[in-house]
Structure 1
Amino acid sequence: MDGQELQKIARDHTAELPGTDQEQRFDPDWELHKVGGKVFMLMTDMPGRPVLILKADPDDATALREQHVGITAGYHMNKRHWITVEGGDTVDDKLVRELVTDSYRLVVGGLPKSRQPVDPHTYDRHA
């Protein structure tokens, strides 16, 4: 999967998640996706490579980096809690949607209960 396709799948999927907002920030090359005012996905182009930057459970992030050459530590983010997804042969649309949903759920789980648009413990669990 190439980076442009990767970003389109991720962008389309975030539009389906309850309570999300999208904004351009920093400069026109950064697209932020938020829930409850907190970022759960960033999209940008690293030199010639469209990427996603997503929150991930630290143990899952380590396993993902070991299993997929197209997944690395979070660019400009906490390397333990964020991953960068570039695409590649082992990253398919199902994995992209799962990673976006997991990032969303992690951020929703950190919001006060009154601001959570879904229950982060039960929402989507890779339906």
Structure 2
Amino acid sequence: MNGKTLHKTAADCAEELPGAELEHPFGDDWQVFKVRGKVFMLMTEVPGRPVVILKSDPGEARALQGENSHITPGYHMNKKHWITLEGGDTVDKGLVRELVTESYLLVVAHLPKAERPVDPHTYGSRAKAAR
């Protein structure tokens, strides 16, 4: 997957998530997706390379980085809780959608229950069961 497709796939997925909003607090070069005011995804270019920065469970982040050279610690973010995804041979639309949704659900799970647009423990479970 090339960088342009990476950004389009990630943005398309984020825009489908309940309560997700796009902002540009750091200028036009940065797309920041939030749910209830909390960041779950950032997109920009790091010296000409499109990247997607996502929240990740620390254990999962280490595993992903060990398995895939296109996944590195979060650019300008807490390296334990964020990952950076670049386009590449081992990155497909399914992986991008999975990582974007997981990032969103991690953020939603830490919102007060009354503010959650979805139940992070069951959201998407019907779609997974149907596969």
What is the alpha-carbon distance in structure 1 between the residues aligned to residue 29 and residue 74 of structure 2? 17
- The C-alpha deviation readout for 1:12-64, integer Å capped at 9, x for no partner, is 11111001100112121111000011000000000010000000000000000
TM-score (norm 2): 0.94
Secondary structure in 1 aligned to 2:24?
strand
- Residue in structure 1 matched with residue 2 of structure 2 by the alignment: 2
What is the alpha-carbon distance in structure 1 between the residues aligned to residue 21 and residue 28 of structure 2? 16
**What is the aligned-residue RMSD (CA, Å)?**
0.9
Matched residue pairs, number? 127
TM-score (norm 1): 0.97
What is the alpha-carbon distance in structure 2 between the residues aligned to residue 10 and residue 40 of structure 1? 11
Secondary structure in 2 aligned to 1:53?
strand
- Residue in structure 2 matched with residue 77 of structure 1 by the alignment: 77
What is the alpha-carbon distance in structure 2 between the residues aligned to residue 24 and residue 4 of structure 1? 18
Secondary structure in 1 aligned to 2:42?
strand
**Which 5+ residue runs of structure 2 have no aligned equivalent?**
none
Percent of pairs with identical residues: 61
- Residue in structure 1 matched with residue 117 of structure 2 by the alignment: 117
- The C-alpha deviation readout for 1:57-91, integer Å capped at 9, x for no partner, is 00000000011110000000000000000021111
Q: Does residue 1:35 correspond to 2:35, yes or no?
A: yes
- Residue in structure 1 matched with residue 87 of structure 2 by the alignment: 87
Q: Does residue 1:96 correspond to 2:96, yes or no?
A: yes
What is the alpha-carbon distance in structure 1 between the residues aligned to residue 36 and residue 111 of structure 2? 7
What is the alpha-carbon distance in structure 1 between the residues aligned to residue 76 and residue 113 of structure 2? 29
Alpha-carbon contact 1:101-1:124 (below 8 Å) kept: no
